[in-house]
Amino acid sequence: MSMLTPPGMGGKYRITGNRYPRMRRPRQRRRIVLASIATVCALSLAAWGTLQLIDIFSGGSSASASSGQDKSKAKGAKCTDDAKTQAAGKGKPGDGEKLPEPDSVKVNVLNATDRSGLAKSTADELKKRGFKIGEVANAPGEFDGKVKETGVVLGAPGEDGVARLKVLGTQLDDADTRFDERKGDDVDLIIGDAYKKLAKKKDAEDALKGLSAAGASPSGRDCSR
């Protein structure tokens, strides 16, 4: 008779089989909580990594857009400051780039062609248009017979020198602008083989006005963009 058979049963009832009740230890709540937190952290880290990868492969569009907005704000602020400066009388709207008047530009007219009298006739026309005339002669050896284009305007570098060359350049179509290391404030007009005559006076005046209008804002940039 089995040891599990209750007394008095006489073996009528037996407990058979090999499955017995087992005592299970109570679950620990703390472990469950910690496992849940670890799972949440892992999912969050995976999501963050995915977003970083998307940002990298998309070229960082969000950062670029933010940077562009910042630059736009800064540019707008600068243009506003320029407008305030003009309103305060430090720069009037439409004044544009300050260019010298023709009567303050001294021009040396030099003939690099084999056509005689060209320097004299050109100098006379420039004088009528208000320019000061300096030397009128043949071009030096480095230019004589070597200027194939309409002409060359030559002067000192720097802001003032460039301004004088711009004013003189309006009088000649397709002039080549060059710089040298001269000390004076005069400029040279070297007549080349393709030269026929100066630009029409009306066209030259319009070109000069266009140069001034191009610098309508103090820094010469377009604040509307």
75-108: pLDDT as tens digits? 444 444 444 433 333 344 344 558 999 999 999 9
Per-residue pLDDT band at 11 (split at 50, 70, 90): low
The terminus-to-terminus CA distance of the chain in angstroms comes to: 104
**Where on the phi/psi map is residue 11: left (φ > 0), alpha (ψ -120 to 50), or beta?**
left
The verdict on domain 102-211 having CATH code 3.40.50 is no
Beta strands per DSSP E along 113-214: 132-138, 151-155, 176-179, 187-191
Res 161: pLDDT: 93
Res 212: pLDDT: 80
Q: Which tens digits make up the pLDDT trace of 153-197?
A: 999 999 999 999 999 999 999 999 999 999 889 999 999 999 999
Task: Give residue limits of the domains in the chain.
Answer: 32-87, 102-211
Q: What is the pTM of this model?
A: 0.54
